[in-house]
Amino acid sequence: MPRRKPTIAGNWKMHLDRTKAVELARAVRRGAEALGPGVDVAVVPPFVYLEAVAKELAGSPVRLGAQNVCEQREGAFTGEISAAMLKDVGCSFALVGHSERRHVYGEDDARVAAKLRALLDAGLDAVLCVGETLAERDSNRTEYVVREQTTQALLGVSADEVRRVTLAYEPVWAIGTGRNATAVQASDVHLYLRGLLSGLYDGQVAEAVRIQYGGSVKPDNAAELLNAPSVDGALVGGASLKADSFLAIAAAAPR
């Protein structure tokens, strides 16, 4: 069974301006080239800077992703961006189901599933984010929540297609709070999700799908988290806005 290559993605959220986005992309590109092919590096800028960042990354191994996508193909959907448009400007993937989309913008599992379908149909990859709130963890509902989120999003996704999906386990209480899950907490959920994939598909698929951890990943906790069993990389928010900290996290991934 080939080892799953770790993937480190920087979710820039609604930060930076055009100049800073291009500078950061340039520095990430240099750093990723120096790290070599043992780790996949990706950046996820705001929509309006995707094209400028794509130019900066042209010919480099750094992958470009979007933070969101519309579930519709095209039409009168003011303010939305389609999967085909993302592909057109150089994206190879997009996030779906990020907790800020679920909890701030009210996206439910059905919408997340439709967005995932739109990406797969357009030939793009997807990072499907799942994770429990603190109240859900405290009432022992973590496994139930991530099972529902994962199962609902993957309804109708074939075994071939799911290989283009990366899961990101992002406990809501760890996002932007400085309070990361421990390596054991992360691993427990990742192993649970892998078991779930094995049941939904089969063992081979479950071993092939990458599961990233996200939530307050920083250079000083990266090595422990990234070396935990079944953790195949990180989805990084705050620490991805500076090349030094983001690249230090990427360098901590087992290669």
Contacts with ligand PGA by CB under 6 A lie at 11, 170, 175-176, 214-217, 235-239
* C-beta closer to ligand PGA: residue 11 or 185: 11
The residue sitting closest to ligand PGA, measured at its beta carbon, is 237
Cβ 203 to ligand PGA shortest distance, Å = 29
HSE at residue 74, side-chain half, CA atoms within 13 A, is 4
Q: Say whether 129 sits in a helix, a strand or coil.
A: strand
Strands (E), the chain: 7-11, 40-44, 63-66, 93-96, 125-130, 165-169, 211-214, 233-236
* C-beta closer to ligand PGA: residue 180 or 187: 180
* C-beta closer to ligand PGA: residue 116 or 206: 116
- State yes or no: is 98 an active-site residue: yes
Q: Where do we find the tokens 């080939």? A: 2
* C-beta closer to ligand PGA: residue 46 or 237: 237
* C-beta closer to ligand PGA: residue 72 or 133: 133
Cβ 78 to ligand PGA shortest distance, Å = 26
- State yes or no: is 103 an active-site residue: no
Q: Where do we find the tokens 């800020």? A: 100
Cβ 93 to ligand PGA shortest distance, Å = 14
Contacts by 46-51, CB closer than 8 A, 24 or more apart: 46/12, 46/13, 46/14, 46/15, 46/16, 46/21, 47/81, 48/18, 49/16, 49/18, 49/21, 49/22, 50/86, 50/89, 50/90, 50/91, 51/89, 51/90
The one catalytic residue among 56, 71, 98, 190 = 98
Cβ 170 to ligand PGA shortest distance, Å = 6
Helices 243-251 and 219-226: crossing angle in degrees, nearest 10, is: 20
Cβ 82 to ligand PGA shortest distance, Å = 23
The one catalytic residue among 56, 71, 136, 170 = 170
Which three-class secondary structure string do you get for 199-229?
HHCCHHHHHHCCEEEECCCCHHHHHHHHCCC
Query: 102: Cβ–Cβ under 8 A, 6 or more apart, which residues?
Result: 108, 112
Question: Which positions are annotated as active-site residues?
Answer: 98, 170
